[in-house]
Amino acid sequence: MNLKQFLLIAIISLSIGMNTTASTINRQETPPNIIIFFSDDAGYADFSMHGHTKIKTPHIDQISQNGATFTNAYVSGPVCSPSRAGLLTGRYQQRFGHECNIGENYSKTDPELIGLPVKEKTIAELLQKEGYHTGIIGKWHLGEKTQFHPCNRGFDDFFGMLDGSSAYHPGQAKELMRNFAPADYTGLPYLTDAFGDEACRFIKKNKDAPFFLYLSFNAPHTPMHARPDYLNDAKKLFKTEQRAVNAAMTRSLDENIGKVMAYLKKLDLEKNTLVIFTNDNGGAMPYNASCNDPFSGTKGTFLEGGIHVPFLMQWKGVIPAGMQYNKPVISLDILPTALALSGGQLPNDRIYDGVNLIPFLLGQKTEAPHEALYWRLLHHGAIRKGEWKMIWFDDKAPKLYNLKEDIGEKSNISKQHPEILKELLNQYNGWQKELEDPIWRTNPIWKKHSRDRYDQDFVNTLRKE
């Protein structure tokens, strides 16, 4: 056993505590593999683990049953690219100017700057230094210039698209790349299936050494393309074709997560792999016919429907099966958790906002992982502290909610609790002073778009059944 393996065993022993069995410790002579399953624009309600009776997601449900379900989990952004920037860096993306989405850019920013700033270290870069082989499959959406390319940001292998979306139907995914070259897309199957197949190839190739796989599915993001056989089945269950397409796309997502999980088991890697499943933001009503119940709001807002996401973590034999963790966590926690298990340390030249969640899951730490959580996207933002949540706007009074009593954020109680509102507003403004100006800004029309979605009566008109 070398020094690094010895230190890793010591770290995990301390994290797990005195009840750890010898067999568990012996198994950890090498760091665990790490897989992140990341879905795109999925509605919180659109998983059977959350009680949906028509959309079945048995393979995702199984991850929940085998590990921990975080009931108060968030992402750091309400739209795609900022959320990914936070996930991959473990830092609030507003700290380094990646506040706005990447798409149509209407600022005068130099196009060479539109992407995850090169000064930021990604989870892939940090794990590479610990001996991991790193791969991303699927959606990148963190810059299309060469300096932002995944293979220049710590990933050894890339198969997917640099931008935010792609056609799904066989032979139509023209945007795909393999590392730095255009991929041969003409013979590929349905895109979600292609990503699942590629993930299995990556695992087979790297099964004998620690690997990190970021499987960044674009389903069920638009365009709304479903497998015809799955769509035919779903049409029998829903009133509208849009909702049936969403269900069929979610079925493909679940099936391919199941494909990867089965392959891990086949190669006897399941017990030495940390598996995480989460989603990039709330459901994008009405564009993909998603549903965010029991929350208000949609993608693009800081209501729970925009940022409260499914979050599961499985590590067999370490994380207790079937446990629920109820204190607030955020996607920024993934990087520190993974790096701690690799035996690495966070760089000390910058602030990290995420924390290692393993000690909290195993009872070694009983306090809340975060004293408060924060969000901002130009003209609006939020803070959650305990059961209290304030939503901030740049041009009107903030709103206050008690999430313990009102998870649907139906009652603004700012007038009833002015002292709490003042405390949260002061703390939020203090956090804003730590942030950099956005490197680029998106079109002001998105302000009205998101503000409309703070009106739940309007949101209810977008529902598809």
> 106-133 pLDDT, tens per residue?
778 899 999 999 999 999 999 999 999 9
Catalytic residues: 80, 141
Q: Is the pLDDT of residue 287 over 50?
A: yes
Domains, the chain, ranges and CATH?
A: 31-361 (3.40.720.10), 373-461 (3.30.1120.10)
Structural contact between residues 316 and 68, judged by C-beta atoms closer than 8 angstroms = no
* pTM given for the model: 0.94
| Pair of tokens at residue 177 | 């790349």
Question: What DSSP state is assigned to residue 122?
Answer: P
Q: Is the pLDDT of residue 25 over 80?
A: no
Q: Which amino acid is at 258?
A: G
pLDDT of residue 29: 66
CA distances from 43 to 82, 424, 452 (A): 18, 28, 18
HSE toward the beta carbon, residue 464, CA cutoff 13 A: 21
Distance CA 165, CA 364 (A): 41
pLDDT of residue 198: 98
Structural contact between residues 32 and 280, judged by C-beta atoms closer than 8 angstroms = no
How much is the average pLDDT of 243-249? 98
